[in-house]
Copies of this chain bind each other. A is one copy, B any other.
Amino acid sequence: MLEETARRRGFFWPSFEIYGGASGFIDFGPVGAALKRKIEEKWRDFFVRKQHLTEIVTPIVMPGKVFEASGHVAHFKDPMVECTKCKRRYRADHLLREFVPVETESLTLDELEHKIRENTVRCPECGGELSRPEYFQTMFATTIGPYSEAVGYCRPEAAQGMFINFKRLSEIAREKLPLGVAQIGKALRNEISPRQGPIRLREFTIMEFEFFFDPEKKSCDQLENVANERIRIVPVELRLRGLEEPLDLTVADSLRKGYILNEWMAYFMALSKRFVTELGIPLDNQRFHEKLPKEKAHYSAQTYDHEVFLERWGWTELAGHAYRTDYDLLMHSKHSGVDIRVFEKHKEPVRKNLRVLRPVASTVRRTFKQRTHEVLELIRKADLNEVEKGFSEKGYYQFEDLRILPEHVEIKLEEEVETGRRFIPHVVEPSFGAERLVYATLEYAYSKIKDRTVLRIPRDLAPIQAVVLPLVSRDGLPELAGRIYDNLTAEHFDIEYDEAGSIGRRYARADEVGVPLAVTVDYRTKDDETVTLRDRDSWRQVRVKINDLSDVIKRYLSSNVSLEAIETSLTS
């Protein structure tokens, strides 16, 4: 129903229709693209501007080594089976679950195969026998430039572009922490057989940020602003006991009970709830669902999915909140050989007494003769702990063919001045899918009044903010309406003009794409320079002067006040 309206009225539809389609891709039409853009803009205002994040843009196609370092090449894969008869391919775990109600998240390939054989799962299309499951890499692979060995992948998340740039971004921010880095852009995942329309897409728009903080100063200075906010939460602790009913807790309590590991994560979960609520989704249809260890991504110490209930798809993830710790920065540090630690200067330099190993030249020379130089070097570079361990366990320290005895070394105390500390920040990551937000917004906006579809899209997100309608197509009314249309367009409103069909039919058409206001130009307009303003949700009308129109529309769109109240405040 929603999807039928979405397609017909130009919100979204499956891509490549004239070529028979390709699952996992959708197109956004005129109003859909506008709604998507406004949701992205709202997210940017809500998170990037108000939380003082920094936003960057990095490429979609990235060299293979980035994803080798990040662990995606090793972990980002799904089990696949092929029908030995018709050669169709399926996601093994999903197929198994369609046949038997079994938990498949943590099964190995062998276990999957065993369960498939045990339950005589066969090809759903032709009944053929299935192959042994194999892993399928779910990143889109390509080559960068003319060398076939230069493997590249389309990013499955925007995060890695933030991690590999962390060093430079931290320098630009003069190494201040916390530092939040955001990105909005396309991400791609080469699903084996996506079957959930606009929900599981191969290409989608991710809006995510990496919030870097000092693991030794992890308290969130904004927490008081959300501490008493209630969230509906299903922690792993409950899920492991088979309980999926959410607890209704304050953010402070969720932290106190240890359900959320990290204050910053709790803070952003609270903001996430506020954001999704502003899309028109009631709190009762939201929950935060903690992932079990086997369900989590490889980089995450804790993950909460922010889910909403959708009629057709059930509980559906709109956002993920992951505590990625220092995993990614550490991995890129190792793989690139670049030191990406942050330096924090001590207020006062710290003086430390360090125990250091020094050779005793006389005894070394006596024992090692012409190899003296080599041994002196060895001792200077040796690890004090290793040497002491050797002495205490065996009475000597062996390095290749050289045996060092306690008489060859002395341990001294030396003073060192430490001006600061170097460390790898930790990170929490809130990550939203724009297409799912669009879908959920539309589902909750979709309503019927007397058999007519009315899309109650929140006013500030409406793709078309107002439509200008001449009552009839003659007697100068279209010209008058055209001028109003041009003026409102010049003032940056998103305005449409419609003169086709009866006025009732045009109202209905506007309601169906969620236009909050209709401006009707009638015969009276010619006399007294007023127009009728009609609102989508109440169908009530007020009379407004053309000169006040822009002001009234602006106030209506940026508030929840009724049209009558705005009109009254104007005339009084």
A: residues with CB less than 8 A from B are 9-10, 13, 15-19, 22-30, 32-34, 36-37, 45, 49-50, 52, 54-63, 65-66, 80, 89, 136, 140-147, 150, 152, 154, 161, 164-165, 167-169, 172, 174, 185-186, 188, 190-193, 202-203, 332, 335-336, 338, 340, 489-490, 492, 494, 500
A22 contacts which of B23, B32, B63, B191 (Cβ < 8 Å)?
A: B63
What B residues does A24 contact at CB under 8 A? 144-145
A32 to B161, CA, bound (A): 15
A145 contacts which of B49, B58, B164, B192 (Cβ < 8 Å)?
A: B192
Contact between B489 and A172 (Cβ–Cβ < 8 Å)? Answer: no
Q: In the assembly, how many copies of this chain are there?
A: 2
A18 contacts which of B54, B150, B164 (Cβ < 8 Å)?
A: B164
Given known contacts A56-B27, A145-B191, is B13 in contact with A168 (CB within 8 Å)? yes
A146 to B82, CA, bound (A): 10
Given known contacts A154-B142, A193-B145, A336-B18, is B172 in contact with A30 (CB within 8 Å)? yes
A56 contacts which of B29, B59, B63 (Cβ < 8 Å)?
A: B29
Contact between A33 and B16 (Cβ–Cβ < 8 Å)? Answer: no
Contact between B144 and A142 (Cβ–Cβ < 8 Å)? Answer: no
Contact between B188 and A61 (Cβ–Cβ < 8 Å)? Answer: yes
Contact between B56 and A144 (Cβ–Cβ < 8 Å)? Answer: no
Contact between B29 and A61 (Cβ–Cβ < 8 Å)? Answer: no
A27 contacts which of B54, B57, B80, B141 (Cβ < 8 Å)?
A: B57
Contact between B203 and A9 (Cβ–Cβ < 8 Å)? Answer: no
Distance in angstroms from A447 CB to nearest chain B CB is: 22
Contact between A202 and B144 (Cβ–Cβ < 8 Å)? Answer: yes
7 A/B residue pairs, CB under 8 Å, sorted by A: A17-B165, A18-B167, A18-B336, A22-B144, A22-B152, A30-B169, A186-B186
A146 contacts which of B32, B50, B62, B89 (Cβ < 8 Å)?
A: B89
Given contact pairs A60-B203, A140-B152, enumerate 11 new A-B contacts (beta carbons under 8 Å). A18-B336, A19-B164, A25-B61, A33-B57, A45-B492, A61-B140, A61-B154, A80-B146, A145-B190, A146-B192, A146-B193
Contact between A494 and B49 (Cβ–Cβ < 8 Å)? Answer: yes
A24 to B62, CA, bound (A): 11
What B residues does A63 contact at CB under 8 A? 16, 19, 22
Contact between A16 and B186 (Cβ–Cβ < 8 Å)? Answer: no
A18 to B33, CA, bound (A): 36
CB-nearest residue of chain B to A9: B172
